[in-house]
A and B are shown apart, each in its own frame.
Chain A
Amino acid sequence: MPDSRTGTRRPRPEVATKLPRGTTARVVLASTRNAWADLTATFTITSWTLGWLGRIIAQVVFYALIGSLLGSPDRIRYLFIGSAVLATAMEALLVVSTTTRERYSGTLPLLVAAPTRLWPVLLGRSVQWLPSGVATATVALFVVGHAFGVSFTLGDGFAAFGVLLLVAVTTYGYGLALAAVVLRFMRLRNWATNLSYTVMMLVCGVMVPLTFWPPWVQWFAQIFPLTHDLQVIRLLESGTYTAREVLLHLGLSVLVALGWYTIGALLLERLVTTGRRDGTIEFAEA
């Protein structure tokens, strides 16, 4: 079987290298089951509600209170909406932490050696944080928000919920690309997530409008899908918007996210090829 310099060739068995149609989709789906198992092993309904949701609500309230320090109901609403929606993005960023576990748990080499590509596996692997992130922000925006003057009409509320889903899905794309980088440089694991998160908090119109910043920062903020999605939610809450501007922002968000998903998939495949070359895909990870 293995290495032989003699090169004597025997007839080799026929191997179907092409996988059946739909395998990629099934792999993504199988991975989402894995993701869901992770969530149910981490939280019970009670611990999610009391521990996780409670913590996120406290965080949103913490920032909204700054508005009351400033003595401005407008600022309270602005900060509340910003930090509530940020919570969804924050949870989507947990894709980095879940993805890097593949290295710690030693499954990465097995995934690499399997006949399918790596990206469909990791695409589905961390989706548990999407429903969780949407749920926390939903409770914050539509339930707790009332106490802070945040209100939606029924229709706009549903639309805003839809945009929250979009926040989760689009930021997940950014997180996936980030995770691909971190899988290569594991020491950056927590730094990458935390820095991304605070940068988003700073420049994406979460705490202060984009216009507060110099133009180059405003341009930079465009690379985060959150910037575009958050503007839509603010428009919906204000009740004064045109369909055109909403669709424009949503379109931009989707476009940016598609870019991130593509970058993420390419980086993951590159991780495999360079990893094979330099031996960084270890059987035993510390």
Chain B
Amino acid sequence: MTALRDVDLEIPEGEIHGLLGPNGAGKTTLCKILSTVLLPTSGRAEICGYDVVADTAAVRRLIGIVFGGERGLYTRLTARGNLQFWASLYGLSGAQAQLRVTTLLERLGLEQRADVRVETFSRGMKQRLHLARGLIGDPQVLILDEPTTGMDPVAAQEFRHLVRGLRAEGRTVLITTHDMAEAEAICDRVTLIDNGSILATERPSTLGTWITRYARVRADGVPPERVSSVTAALEALSGVAAVRESAPGTLVVDTAADGAAPEVLRLLLELGITDVATTRPDLAEVYLQVIGKRGMRVD
């Protein structure tokens, strides 16, 4: 089995680069290769000009890794204890280590809980500690593997703000995610990856277009006798890809053109149906719609 094939990607310094793809796409494999825990069977990868296979020691000084979720922390240590531990692994000691640890705790807003065991932390706090841990070696390049998994929206928002701050310091960030909106929100460029291959590298504004273009409108409380007439009216709109009744009285409208969703909403309101909502398409749907049509999907 080949986890990655023909991946050719260059990320300029100081860019926040998103690696977007469904689970099992090969995002983590790429991260593992770049973070020196997996050797590629062929091909080459470099971090700041250092080869991940030949110059492992240099690469390890240049990178920081950040996981999402619970894994990767010593939950029985305090936040400070965790950072002090990792500081020693990066060759820091004494006043220098203290300074780095304190600075990071303050910078990530953890100084209040610095001396509390991590097992009591919320998901958002754990994630900030993860980031602090990743920064302990003052890395040029940060590899963030699904960092916002399982975070509540507010915490995820805060976290993204912190990531944007890293760019300002001139660090390069590679972030994997399966959330289009997240990729759109923080990345300078996004690479779509599936089945171990790169499908496309795009500006996030393109993603934004996809998100609005393939929005989905849901209408509840459509009187049974009007379902077929409303359906017909919706189908007549340009830009509407499909209309179906997902449950009695509930219509789901898929759009496939810029500005189609507002048109659908307007029509529904005109028809007196007020219980409506728009939802963003998920990645799989965008794949099917965009990439499938462009014939780039590798199956």
Contact = CB atoms under 8 A, between A and B. Distances in A.
Q: Quick check: do A and B touch in the complex, using CB within 8 A?
A: yes
A270 interface: no
B172 to A, nearest CB: 6
Contacts of A214: none
A30 interface: yes
B8 A5 contact: yes
A12 B49 contact: yes
A215 interface: no
Given A20-B93, A30-B89, A112 B73 contact: no
Nearest to A29: B88
B123 to A, nearest CB: 15
Given A109-B37, A109-B65, A276-B37, A34 B88 contact: no
B280 interface: no
A26 interface: yes
B35 A114 contact: no
Contact of B81 (A6, A11, A34): A34
Contacts of B7: 3
Nearest to B11: A1
A276 B39 contact: yes
A109 B134 CA distance: 13
A23 B9 contact: no
B34 A15 contact: no
Contacts of B29: 279
A17 to B, nearest CB: 4
Contacts of A279: 29, 32, 38
Interface in A10-52: 10-13, 15-17, 19-20, 22-23, 26-27, 29-31, 33-34, 37-38, 41
Interface string B197-239: 0000000000000000000000000000000000000000000
Contact of B39 (A9, A277, A285): A277
Interface string B30-70: 11111111111001111111100000011011110101001
A283 interface: yes
B31 A12 contact: no
10 nearest A-B residue pairs (beta carbon)? A106-B71, A12-B49, A19-B91, A17-B57, A30-B88, A41-B76, A15-B58, A114-B89, A3-B45, A1-B11
